[in-house]
Homo-oligomer: A and B are copies of this chain.
Amino acid sequence: MHPWQALEGARVLDLAQPMRTGMPQSPNHPPFRMTLERRHGDLVRPDGGSAANELIVTGGHVGTHVDALAHVSQDGLLHGGLPAGEAMSQHGFGSLGIEEFEPYVGRCVLLDVTAVHGVHTLPPGYEITPADLSRAATGLELRPGDAVLVGTGWSRLWSSPEEFTGLRTGVPGPGAEAARWLAGHRPRLVGGESIAFEHIAPGRGHATLPVHRVLLVESGINIVETMRLAELLDSGAREFLLVLNPLPIVGATGAPVRPLAILPGEGP
């Protein structure tokens, strides 16, 4: 059976947040802005045709996106001990940029921490523990090379930018211990719903990013952030096909992506 036949009738869930001027994002990154440059009617061809187009300004870590291994360094070194200073230039990173991330098409496991606690959305300042992840993984096999997503329900708050950003009240996410638990299963990538895949205590912002260090620098595991997992959490699916194909921006430390979860169809 051809792959296209195997997926006929499958259910496709869009895991990306819509990108628009003013959407929630990290204050550390260039704000996303899309504006029409040419509108219909500005330039009408002799045959009555007209084309419109836009100008976009953005960061690589804006909207749903993938962190490249080049994104974080520790004591001046990138993953694998590469000196960060040697990898950077006006062309971006010569190594470990997002274009080196091979598109992922494979098994994905969703660890639903909201179900562990019987809530719809985790509270703002909650730090996810290894015990949370173990309980969420009950009955699920985690294989090396898999994708692992961690559900917090946080994507439900997308339309409330101040709450979603959580500068004052904090954001739920894994601490360093949970990151090590995840890294221990040797996944290809991990992902979550908030802006940074980290536990952010109230009022602290992104002062330290231990999860990024453990995953990107120490373990070579890419991170997907700002995913829209609400619908997937509600679907009950915990094992599915994930397609993750970030834009191949050469030398960038991250790139936007529109991830897809592919589930079995409803049947006839």
Q: A41-B76, A76-B41 are in contact. Are A16 and B247 (CB under 8 A)?
A: yes
Q: Give the distance in Å from the alpha carbon of A60 to the alpha carbon of B33 in the complex.
A: 12
Of A129-137, A157-165, A236-244, the one contacting chain B is A236-244
A258 to B256, CA, bound (A): 11
Interface 9-mer from A105-113, A116-124, A166-174, A181-189: A105-113
Give me the 7 closest cross-chain CB pairs, A-B, nearest first.
A6-B6, A40-B84, A4-B241, A38-B90, A3-B241, A20-B250, A35-B37
| Cβ-defined partner of A37 (8 Å) among B4, B30, B38 | B30
Distance of A93 Cα from B102 Cα, bound (Å): 33
List residues of A whose CB falls within 8 A of some B CB: 1-8, 10, 12, 14, 16-21, 28-31, 33-43, 45-61, 63, 70-76, 78, 84-85, 88-93, 99, 102-103, 105-108, 207-210, 212-213, 239-243, 245-254, 256-260, 262-264
